[in-house]
Amino acid sequence: MKTHSVPVNTKNNPVKVSVASMIGSAVESYDFFIYGTAAAAWFGKVFFDTEEPVVGIMAAFATLAVGFLMRPVGGYLAGHFGDRYGRKAVLFWSLLAMGLATVLIGALPTYEQAGLLAPVLLILLRMIQGIGFGAEWGGAVLMAFEHAPEKKRGFYGAVPQLGIPLGLLLANGAFLLSGALFEGDWVWRMPFLISFIMVAIGIFIRLSVAESPEFEKVKAEKRIVKQPALEVIRRDWRTIMNIVGLRLAETGGYYITTSFMLSYVVLADITDTRHVLWGTLIGSALGLVSHLLYGALSDRVGRRRVFLIGSLFTIAFGIPMFMLINTGAVMLVIVAISLSLLLSHDPIFAVESSWFSEQFPAHVRSSGISLGYNAASVVAGLLPFIATWIYSMVGWIGPAIIFSLLGVLSTWCALKTAETAPSQLGETHNIAEGAAASTNG
């Protein structure tokens, strides 16, 4: 008697889908992060006509912030099209837009060569980067989250989050390698120019996976709404604003630790930027493991408890981090940066994909998480600029206090956010519908 096995659709395999989402996120994160590094270390001199180092760095950080200001636009578009036409198409177009803008930045003329046209073109391309990156995250995490088994969504949702430390690892590694191989403008240009290789790989991989089964179910049940982004703003705006608060410690602390710290060690004449880059590299490498551990832990003990590891550490670590940096000792600088990423950023970021997704029903989920996530990024994008300005007035204690205050705000939001991990609920049910009902009740 013959037995027939049911063929497995590898396009729906949660491991393959989550890895594909992670690789695409890594490529887009690389593109976005090389801008932050270049802005801190090069763009103040390359694209702006100023004799004052602080003014040049602040101008460069202002262009950095422009990308963050455009991220809610990308989030709105991604949410709208992701909830109407599917998560997969959004991932293709966001990656393509991001990649093209990044390569073109690497080919821009300098201020010395083109005058005011140079910073204008830089800002326009940075705006496109911001829209592309804003469209990226929601689709990537939903593909992983919605393909995953319900009781392992914390783990699988953390996999695309690995794209952030991996992208940062690649970005800082590219600058270190470029500095060793090239001189002059080519040091900062090469990391931008080689982006096209990774973008091509990312697009190929993303096209090989299936559409989200939850979106397909929504479509089959004819629950797609014409204006999902407007619908979720009207219905769940409090949840969106709470997500903004939840993200502040993670995203704001991240850019103080990485982008601002690169310029701080130079302005304060503490140490070489390479030591900050090495700390970031080590912290990011550890993050490739820590995110998975934190995600798996959240499936067992709950999203909120893992989140609080990071937000409470952020409160405690602001002043100690700067005191370690201020010693100028290479090992202590590396330890400070690495600890900030490992214990402040990673526990929060690992659970965001699952915890945020579980706050919204499937037919408006892409819009809900994209809007909340990217609105918080606007604040984060301004922080390197604000931290530099405050440092110029009161010294290092100002940015250190900002870092800790971000932890206070996120901890407060976490304490008033419902737990959604299946292991912590009394019975199996539709988590997102329950969370949305409790939010709006």
* Lowest-confidence segment of 29-33, 192-196, 400-404 by average pLDDT: 29-33
Model confidence at 204, in pLDDT bands (50, 70, 90)? confident
What confidence score (pLDDT) does residue 25 get? 85
Q: Are 242 and 413 in contact (CB under 8 A)?
A: yes
Whether 5 is covered by a domain: the verdict is no
Amino acid sitting at position 248: L
For 124-136, write each residue's pLDDT tens digit: 999 998 898 889 8
pLDDT digits (tens, 9 = 90+) for 33-50: 788 778 877 888 888 876
* Residue 437, pLDDT above cutoff 60: no
Q: DSSP string of 44-79?
A: HHHS---S-HHHHHHHHHHHHHHHHHHHHHHHHHHH
Q: Does the pLDDT at position 115 exceed 80?
A: yes
421 and 351 Cβ atoms separated by less than 8 Å: no
Q: How far apart are CA 393 and CA 432, in angstroms?
A: 46
Q: Give the mean model confidence (pLDDT) for residues 106-113.
A: 92
The average pLDDT across 154-170 equals 89
What percent of the chain lies above the pLDDT cut of 70?
93
**Does residue 402 lie within any of the structural domains?**
yes
pLDDT greater than 80 at residue 324: yes
Q: Is the pLDDT of residue 403 over 80?
A: yes
pLDDT digits (tens, 9 = 90+) for 3-17: 444 344 556 788 888
Residue 392 has pLDDT above 70, yes or no: yes
Confidence of residue 308 (pLDDT cuts 50, 70, 90): very high
Q: What confidence score (pLDDT) does residue 338 get?
A: 95
Q: Is the pLDDT of residue 429 over 50?
A: no
In a domain, 350, yes or no: yes
Report, as an integer, the average pLDDT of 290-301: 96
Q: Which residues contact 54 (CB under 8 A, 6 or more apart)?
A: 267, 388, 392
Residue 114 lies in a domain: yes
pLDDT given at position 310: 97
Question: In the chain, how many domains are there?
Answer: 1
Q: Within a domain: residue 3? A: no
Q: How many CA atoms lie within 13 A of 294 on its CB side?
A: 33
Q: Which of 118, 90, 117 is nearest to 212 (CA)?
A: 90
Confidence (pLDDT) at 426: 61
Instruction: Give how far the C-alpha of residue 42 lies from the chain's centroid of Cα atoms, to the nearest Å.
Output: 22
CATH of the domain at 214: 1.20.1250.20
The answer to whether residue 2 sits within a structural domain is: no
> In the predicted model, is pLDDT for residue 364 greater than 80?
yes
In a domain, 289, yes or no: yes
The sign one gets for the Cα dihedral 261, 188, 139, 292 is negative
Choose the weakest-confidence range: 28-32, 233-237, 266-270, 403-407.
Answer: 28-32
Domain, as residue range, for 207: 11-440
Burial class (CB in 10 A: 0-12, 13-18, 19+), 184: exposed
Give the model's confidence band at 220: pLDDT under 50 very low, under 70 low, under 90 confident, else very high: very high
With respect to residue 4, please indicate whether it lies within any of the assigned structural domains.
Answer: no
Q: What is the pLDDT of residues 46-74, one digit of tens each?
A: 888 766 777 777 777 788 778 888 989 99
E strand map for 151-257: none
